[in-house]
């Protein structure tokens, strides 16, 4: 498995940047930096690395293709909102474990989002309605797991 590497450093010269990338870093950010930029770069690294590992994910009759931003069930395209797609993709990427509601919220929204909101539950309910009730398992008190994981 390939693990993406982001270097955060105080050394900002172009020599250090070239050396860091030549030695295996996927991206390089030097001080001063804005946290929003670091988070955007991390999201891009994760997108790229997950695309290298597994371009399309399959769970039962559901297929999620992150490169095409497409979801199918039994070969038929299912229309999802961008947030629904993010939730489903994240659960499928992490299908071997339970994902907390807080973790899903942090993945979907910016840092300043109201974390007491029930929007994750709304997205889960919509996904169940569109893809079938058994697609996502609720683990009481802990979070959610892709129920059709390759068990």
Q: What is the pLDDT of residues 23-41, one digit of tens each?
A: 878 888 888 888 888 888 8
Q: Report d(CA 40, CA 101) in Å as an integer.
A: 21
What pLDDT, on the 0 to 100 scale, is given for residue 122? Answer: 92
What integer is the mean pLDDT of 136-140? 91
Residue-wise pLDDT for 79-111, tens only, equals 999 889 989 988 888 887 898 888 888 777 755
* Residues ≥6 apart with Cβ < 8 Å to 24: 5
Q: Report d(CA 14, CA 20) in Å as an integer.
A: 10
What pLDDT, on the 0 to 100 scale, is given for residue 31? Answer: 86
The total of other beta-carbon atoms located within 10 Å of residue 20's CB is 20
What pLDDT, on the 0 to 100 scale, is given for residue 55? Answer: 66
Q: Which CATH superfamily is domain 6-53 in?
A: Response regulator (3.40.50.2300)
* pLDDT surpasses 80 at 5: yes
Residue-wise pLDDT for 61-80, tens only, equals 899 887 788 999 999 999 99
Please report, for the chain, the start and end positions of each structural domain, with discontinuous segments joined by +: 6-53, 57-146
DSSP 99: B
Is domain 57-146 annotated with CATH 2.60.40.10?
no
6-53 and 57-146: same fold?
no
């Amino acid at each position: 498995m390939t693990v993406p590497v982001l270097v955060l450093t105080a050394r900002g010269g172009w020599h250090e940047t070239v050396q860091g990338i030549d030695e295996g870093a996927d991206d390089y950010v030097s001080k001063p930096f804005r946290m929003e930029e670091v988070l955007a770069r991390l999201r891009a690294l994760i997108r790229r690395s997950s695309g290298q590992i597994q371009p399309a994910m399959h769970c039962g009759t559901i297929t999620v293709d992150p490169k095409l931003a497409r979801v199918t069930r039994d070969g038929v395209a299912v229309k999802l909102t961008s947030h629904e797609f993010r939730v489903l993709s994240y659960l499928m990427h992490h299908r071997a474990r339970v994902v907390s509601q807080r973790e899903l919220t942090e993945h979907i929204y910016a840092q300043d989002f109201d974390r007491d909101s029930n929007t994750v539950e709304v997205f889960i309910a919509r996904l169940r309605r569109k893809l079938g009730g058994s697609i996502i398992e609720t683990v009481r008190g802990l979070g959610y797991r892709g129920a059709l994981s390759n068990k």
